Amino acid sequence: MQTSICFVDSYKFHPSRKITLILAPFDGGQPKSGVEEGPQHLLDAGLQSQLEELGWTTSIDEPLKDLDLLGLKKDASDVHGIVKRPNMVSLASQRIHDAVKTAALKNTLPLTIGGDHSIAIGTVSGFFEAQPDACLLWIDAHADINTISTTESGNLHGCPVSFVMGLDKESWPPHFKWLRPNLRADRIAYIGLRDVDKGEKKILKDLGITAFSMYHVDKYGIGKVVEMALKAINPENNRPVHVSYDVDAIDPLFVQATGTPVKDGLTLREGLFIVEEVAATGNLAALDVVETNPSLALNETHVLDTVRVGCAIARCALGETLL
């Protein structure tokens, strides 16, 4: 059978097709090293030229370049109660915040490559400062909405959503004074959830946040789920959409090299379909691809598989659609 590539030709918020590729080689939000190598692996796999082939002009920003991440990681005093590395996470996310905001204000689409998901404290707050009307689609096995009071692990990659929403602000480590929460509960929807902590479930319920777990994907099918998710956060189809994509949303069968894999996830096609569908609305305006950790793979094939999935998520979001 003949296959051809068709291009989604209208990105409403980015008609001139410019991307700022923001590299966030950061591992301070969780305990497993290696996730900071994610961005380099995606670049080595040809991400930048793949995006250019889709008609995007790309430039690279490295906002963490001047940070002594290794030094910060060694600082044993960087704790706040049970919370690990608040200083390191705050410093990095503030720089990422600035980079994403600047990229968006220059009318380029910020594509941030992680790194662990704590960097979304910066990507979401930065993007929403530039685009206050935006909405957020969080693709993940986890809700990442633990607060300083509910987190059991103390890992900040499990907390970014609570920070950008300003939950439990009274308990924040002082380092986050710079952060102005700007995400409302009716502007976020989740897809792919299957490992949500007890405290997180209560928050989702109390705030009435739109959340589709794997149960809903099985029940309604991925097409209907994406439709319902977008309808909830973008009813008039006129808001810029930020997609924050944790690769562990996809089943470990396809994505092995990630820090907190959870079985029974999205198939690869379901995972790619989500971003294809957002691309088709023309509203995609910011994207994060996070939590690829090449050093957790059992073999080289697993590394390549995971890195390829990361690149495919970006390509599908940015207009590659297989017919």
Closer CB to Mn ion, 78 or 291, in the complex: 291
Binding-site size for ligand ARG (CB under 6 A) equals 15
Q: Contact letters (x/-) for ligand ARG, 161-180, by CB under 6 A?
A: --------------------
> What burial class does residue 13 get, using C-beta atoms within 10 Å of its C-beta: 0-12 exposed, 13-18 middle, 19+ buried?
middle
Cα dihedral 311, 227, 283, 10 sign: positive
The residue count of the chain comes to: 323
**Residue 320 interacts with which of Mn ion, ligand ARG, none, CB < 5 to 8 Å by class:** none
**Minimum distance, C-beta of residue 108 to ligand ARG, in the bound complex (Å):** 26
- Which H helix or E strand runs over 21? strand 18-24
Q: Does 260 bind ligand ARG (CB under 6 A)?
A: yes
Residue closest to ligand ARG (Cβ) = 158
288 touches Mn ion (CB under 5 A): no
Question: Is residue 195 involved in binding Mn ion (CB under 5 A)?
Answer: no
Q: Which residues are annotated as a binding site for Mn(2+)?
A: 117, 140, 142, 144, 246, 248
Element at 322 (helix H, strand E): strand 320-322
Peptide bond into 34 cis (omega under 30): no
Query: Residue ranges for the binding site?
Result: 117, 140, 142, 144, 246, 248
The distance from CA 275 to its chain's CA centroid, rounded to whole angstroms, is: 12
Footprint (CB under 5 A) of Mn ion, residues 216-255: 246, 248
Show the tokens assigned to 258: 């990630």
Smaller CB separation from Mn ion, 54 or 217: 217
Binding to ligand ARG in span 229-248, by CB under 6 A: 246, 248
Does 117 participate in binding Mn ion (rule CB under 5 A)?
yes
- Sign of the torsion angle spanned by Cα atoms 302, 119, 53, 250: positive
Choices 123-131, 142-150, 175-183, 298-306 (CB under 6 A): range interacting with ligand ARG:
142-150
Picked from ligand ARG, Mn ion, none, the partner binding residue 151 (CB below 5 to 8 A depending on kind) is: ligand ARG
Class of residue 323 by CB neighbours under 10 A (exposed 0-12, middle 13-18, buried 19+): exposed
Among 27, 36, 144, 320, the residue binding Mn ion under the rule CB under 5 A is 144
Q: Minimal distance in Å, beta carbon 170 to ligand ARG?
A: 20
The Cα-based distances of 279 to 79, 132, 271, 285 in angstroms read 40, 20, 13, 9
- Interface with Mn ion includes 37 (CB under 5 A)? no
- Non-local (6+) Cβ contacts of 43 within 8 A are 23
Q: Does 27 bind ligand ARG (CB under 6 A)?
A: no
Cβ-based burial of 202 (10 A; exposed 0-12, middle 13-18, buried ≥19):
exposed
Please choose, out of 12-20, 139-147, 213-221, 293-301, the segment that lies near ligand ARG by the rule CB under 6 A. 139-147
Output DSSP code: residue 174. G
For binding to ligand ARG (CB under 6 A), which residues are involved?
117, 142, 144, 146, 151, 153, 155, 157-158, 197, 246, 248, 259-260, 291
For binding to Mn ion (CB under 5 A), which residues are involved?
117, 140-142, 144, 246, 248
